[in-house]
């Protein structure tokens, strides 16, 4: 006697192809982009050498107050189709302060949040404050208020392609 096993998801997928009448569209959904990310962190070390300051990146094994940390986010499309307008959001690490205008990303629109990633805006982030006389005005938010950064990659990321994003923070 021969034992036969069925993969229920494969059967349902096959039924969807037959029942949908638009098999090509369902098949295309199986070939999705898949963006993976790797985050590396280094520390900026300043050294006075040959009558000038030299800044080098070293492993961030230990940190102390006022150290500058450099975050590098490497993204890769490991999927089967291009990633269009891929979005990557990264929180500002706890215990650090974002260094204004340090976010980088080729072919990416950069935005920031000061409210826990509920609302994003182009940098510099602005906040509405109420004055003692009851009027309100818009001011640039201090770096301590930044909670998240977001990159929208405007160039399609083809399968197998990678790119880098980055930002700097200061340890509190």
**SS3 per-residue string spanning the chain:** CCCCCCCHHHHHHHHHHHHHCCHHHHHHHHCCCCEEEEEEEEEEEEEEECCEEEEEEEECCCCCCCCEEEEEEEEEECCCCCECCEEEEEECCCCEEECCCCCEECCEEEEEECCCCCCCECCCCEEEEECCCCCEEEEECCHHHCCEEEEEECCCECCCCEEEEEEEEEEC
Q: Looking at the structure, do residues 162 and 108 belong to the same domain, yes or no? A: yes
Q: Looking at the structure, do residues 92 and 149 belong to the same domain, yes or no? A: yes
Q: Looking at the structure, do residues 20 and 40 belong to the same domain, yes or no? A: no
Across the range 78-106, mean pLDDT stands at 97
Across the range 87-98, mean pLDDT stands at 98
Q: Looking at the structure, do residues 17 and 37 belong to the same domain, yes or no? A: no
Backbone region of residue 15 per phi and psi (left: phi > 0; alpha: psi in -120 to 50; beta: other values): alpha
pLDDT at 7 over 60: no
pLDDT at residue 6, rounded to an integer: 29
For the chain, the distance separating the N- and C-terminal CA atoms, rounded to the nearest angstrom, is: 70
The answer, as to whether pTM is greater than 0.85, is no
Q: Looking at the structure, do residues 44 and 5 belong to the same domain, yes or no? A: no
- Per-residue pLDDT reduced to its tens digit, 16-66: 333 333 334 444 456 899 999 999 999 999 888 899 999 999 999 999 999
Across the range 82-98, mean pLDDT stands at 97
CATH number at residue 160: 2.60.40
Q: Looking at the structure, do residues 12 and 79 belong to the same domain, yes or no? A: no
Domain count, the chain: 2
Q: Looking at the structure, do residues 78 and 150 belong to the same domain, yes or no? A: yes
Q: Looking at the structure, do residues 95 and 110 belong to the same domain, yes or no? A: yes
Q: Looking at the structure, do residues 143 and 130 belong to the same domain, yes or no? A: yes
Q: Looking at the structure, do residues 23 and 72 belong to the same domain, yes or no? A: no
Q: Looking at the structure, do residues 8 and 62 belong to the same domain, yes or no? A: no
Q: Looking at the structure, do residues 5 and 47 belong to the same domain, yes or no? A: no
pLDDT at residue 4, rounded to an integer: 30
For residue 15, the enclosing domain spans 1-30
- Per-residue pLDDT reduced to its tens digit, 107-148: 999 999 999 999 999 999 999 999 999 999 999 999 999 999
């Amino acid at each position: 006697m021969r034992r036969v096993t069925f993969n229920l998801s494969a059967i349902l997928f096959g039924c969807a192809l037959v029942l949908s009448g638009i098999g090509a569209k369902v098949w295309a959904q199986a070939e999705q982009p898949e963006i993976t990310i790797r985050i590396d962190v280094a520390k900026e070390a300043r050294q006075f050498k040959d009558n000038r300051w030299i800044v080098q990146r070293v492993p961030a094994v230990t940190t102390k107050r006022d150290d500058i940390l450099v975050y590098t986010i490497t993204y890769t499309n490991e999927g089967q189709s291009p990633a269009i307008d891929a979005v990557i959001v990264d929180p500002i690490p706890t215990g650090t302060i974002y260094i204004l205008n340090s976010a980088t990303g080729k072919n990416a629109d950069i935005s920031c949040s000061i409210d826990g990633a509920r609302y994003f805006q182009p940098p510099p982030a602005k906040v509405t404050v109420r004055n003692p006389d009851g009027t309100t005005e818009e001011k640039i938010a201090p770096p301590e208020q930044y909670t998240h950064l977001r990159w929208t990659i405007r160039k399609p990321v083809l399968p197998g392609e990678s790119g880098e994003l980055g930002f700097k923070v200061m340890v509190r």
